Structures are given as structure tokens and as C-alpha cells.
């Protein structure tokens, strides 16, 4: 666990997403959850060492399986965007692990079993303020669609930290299946300007990020949009998107046998993005 600012902690050691915790005199606000049962237990034990009692809230930065599968086991009140709640309304009550090739992290683990989802107990549309004690631990949740329609950022003005979820990911392809690339690129341009230039940025997959990594993510998305548009002008473009994924995979250096996971993520994401962008009547994608 790393303390990135006073009473603001992150943990990057669990597979899937980076999780966070903000401690105040009133209690604790958590950002996302590990998806494996053993990691949830480990994270909860670590949190107990920070603060044994008090109120606990869990903020899910979007509806992705990797950050929501463990939400119920955290035994907290769950907060998310209204669009995230809408995704849960379309899901069955139980998650059952089965073969999938979307490139999500959970797909690399075969022992997840059946898990009951935890839809958000509290939702909002544009902004939500979580008040700490005397300003300490106060958090502003803001709707920031781009990576997905229900994506949010969690800002801590007093601590100078903002959790940006999947707006920027480190060392791996981002998830494109539910993306609005134009809106996403606008978000990244905002991160490169004030007031975020003076804040610590925390990626939902990788931890602390530098401005150079934000710029790299922006440039890569610009490249993706241009390449997909060029493919869409060609005959049988949907099939050619698979070839495009293999080209874009060369921009990353997968380690620990993750090349196929990244390839699946790019192929699935690009194909779904292409269908939504250029064949909108032919696909319905869950976030």
C-alpha cells in the first residue's frame, strides 16, 4: 500500500484495477475493489489497520467487471453513476465465470465461481460531494464519460489528488468496446491543463501517472480513431479490424504471458467500437 498524500492510499498489487482508500475522522471512502476473494480479504485486512471502525463507502469508477465483481464482498454502501446503475439493470443477478475473450483481467482467473452483483445503492447524474470532517477527506465525484458512459472521476481538492479510472491506463491497451473516443480525448486534454496540472493523477490501472503518460494516451487514441476511420472506408472493414488490433498490439510490451489477453482486448474493443460507430443498428454492448 502506498500513501500518495496525507490519508490517501492506493494499492497496485492486485490483478485488475488499482484500488484506493481515503481516511477521515468520520470514516473511509474506498475506490473500486479487487475481484478475487482472497484479494478482497487481504485489502479489507489492510484497511482495518488504517481504521478499525467508522463509516465506509465504496465508489465504483465505472461498471467494468474488473472493478465491480468484488464490490459486494467489501460490505460497503456502493456509489456509482446512474449510467452504471442502468448497466446493472440489464445484467442477471448473478455473475457466472465462463469463457470470454474480451480481454478483461478477470478472464485470466478460472476460480471465481458465481458472484452476486452489488448494484450502486446511491447514484448521481453530474456531480456528488462526499463530505469529510472539516474538509479533510472530502471528495467530489464527477461524471466523465469517454472510456464508458458511466465513468466518473473522484477528486480530493484538499489533498490535491484525482482518481481518473480508465481514462489513462499504464502499460496495457485501454478498453475500447464502450468508448466515445472524441469525449475521451477531450478528457485527456483537460488533464493536461489546469487545475489538474497541479494535482496527483491516479490511474485505475497502474497507479500514479505522469503528464507524459496522459499525452501518450491521447496520441494513441488519436491514432486509433484515424486508423479505424480509414478501415471503415474499405470493403469488409469489420473483418479488417482484427488485423488492425494486431498492428496496435505492437505499441505495447506484454509481460508474463499477457500478449493474448491484450490481443483479445484490442480485437474485442475495436470490433465493438467499429460496430457502434459505423453499424449502430447491429450491436448492443454492455459496459
pLDDT of residue 180: 95
Indicate whether 214 belongs to any domain: no
Instruction: Please tell me whether the peptide bond between 286 and the residue prior to it is cis, using omega within 30 degrees of 0.
Output: no
* Interstrand relation of 152-156 and 77-81 (parallel, antiparallel or unpaired): unpaired
The answer to whether position 33 is within a domain reads yes
The CATH number that applies at residue 8 is: 3.60.15.10
| Chain centre distance of CA 76 | 19
Determine the pLDDT at residue 256: 80
**9 found inside a domain:** yes
Is 102 a member of any domain? Answer: yes
Q: What does the alpha-carbon distance between residue 95 and residue 54 come to, in Å, rounded to a whole number?
A: 30
Residue 279 lies in a domain: no
CA distance 19 to 205: 9
Q: Residue 247 has what pLDDT?
A: 92
234 in any annotated domain: no
β-bridge pairing 122-124 and 77-81: parallel
One digit per residue, the tens of pLDDT, for the chain of length 287 reads: 999 999 999 999 999 899 999 998 888 999 999 999 999 999 999 998 887 667 889 999 999 999 999 999 999 999 999 999 999 888 887 787 676 789 999 998 877 878 889 999 999 999 999 987 766 678 999 999 999 999 999 999 999 999 999 999 999 999 999 999 999 999 999 999 988 989 999 999 999 999 999 999 999 999 999 998 888 777 566 677 888 998 999 999 888 888 999 999 999 999 899 888 887 765 555 55
The range of the structural domain enclosing residue 176 comes to 2-209
Q: pLDDT value at position 122?
A: 96
- Quickly count: other Cβ atoms within 10 Å of residue 8's Cβ: 24
HSE-up (13 A, CA, CB side) for residue 196: 19
**Could you report how far apart the first and last alpha carbons of the chain are, in Å?**
29
Could you tell me if residue 244 is inside a domain? no
Q: How far from chain centre, in Å, is Cα 122? A: 19
Separation between Cα atoms, residue 142 and residue 199, nearest integer Å? 16
Helices and strands (DSSP H and E) totals, the chain = 7, 15
The C-alpha atoms of residue 81 and residue 93 are separated, in whole angstroms, by 19
In a domain, 137, yes or no: yes
Mean pLDDT of the chain: 89
State the sign of the Cα–Cα–Cα–Cα dihedral 74, 75, 77, 83.
Answer: positive
CA-CA-CA-CA torsion sign (61, 64, 70, 75): positive
Angle at CA of residue 191, ends 211 and 178, nearest 5°? 110
Task: In whole angstroms, give the CA distance from residue 127 to residue 141.
Answer: 6
Written as nine digits, the cell of 21 is 482508500
Count up the domains in the chain and report the number: 1
DSSP summary character for residue 277: H
Amino acid at each position: 500500500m502506498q500513501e500518495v498524500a496525507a490519508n490517501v492510499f492506493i494499492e497496485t498489487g492486485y490483478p485488475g484495477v488499482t484500488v484506493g482508500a481515503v481516511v477521515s475522522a468520520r470514516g473511509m471512502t474506498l475506490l473500486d475493489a479487487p475481484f478475487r476473494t482472497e484479494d478482497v480479504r487481504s485489502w479489507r485486512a489492510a484497511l482495518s489497520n488504517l481504521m478499525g471502525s467508522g463509516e465506509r463507502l465504496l465508489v465504483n469508477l465505472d461498471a467494468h467487471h474488473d472493478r465491480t465483481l468484488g464490490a459486494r464482498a467489501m460490505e460497503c454502501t456502493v456509489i456509482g453513476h446512474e449510467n452504471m446503475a442502468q448497466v446493472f439493470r440489464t445484467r442477471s443477478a448473478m455473475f457466472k465465470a465462463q469463457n470470454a475473450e474480451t480481454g478483461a483481467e478477470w478472464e485470466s482467473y478460472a476460480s471465481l465461481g458465481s458472484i452476486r452483483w452489488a448494484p450502486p445503492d446511491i447514484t448521481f447524474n453530474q456531480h456528488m460531494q462526499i463530505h469529510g470532517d472539516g474538509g479533510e477527506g472530502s471528495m467530489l465525484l464527477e461524471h466523465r464519460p469517454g472510456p464508458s458512459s458511466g465513468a466518473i472521476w473522484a477528486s480530493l481538492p484538499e489533498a490535491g489528488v484525482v482518481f481518473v479510472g480508465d481514462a489513462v491506463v499504464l502499460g496495457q491497451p485501454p478498453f475500447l468496446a464502450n468508448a466515445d473516443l472524441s469525449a475521451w480525448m477531450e478528457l485527456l486534454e483537460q488533464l493536461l491543463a489546469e487545475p489538474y496540472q497541479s494535482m496527483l493523477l491516479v490511474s485505475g490501472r497502474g497507479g500514479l501517472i505522469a503528464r507524459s503518460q496522459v499525452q501518450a494516451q491521447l496520441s494513441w487514441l488519436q491514432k486509433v480513431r484515424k486508423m479505424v476511420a480509414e478501415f471503415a472506408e474499405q470493403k469488409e472493414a469489420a473483418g479488417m479490424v482484427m488485423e488492425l488490433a494486431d498492428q496496435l498490439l505492437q505499441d505495447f510490451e506484454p509481460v508474463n504471458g499477457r500478449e493474448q489477453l491484450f490481443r483479445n482486448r484490442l480485437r474485442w474493443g475495436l470490433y465493438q467500437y467499429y460496430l457502434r460507430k459505423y453499424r449502430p443498428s447491429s450491436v448492443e454492448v454492455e459496459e
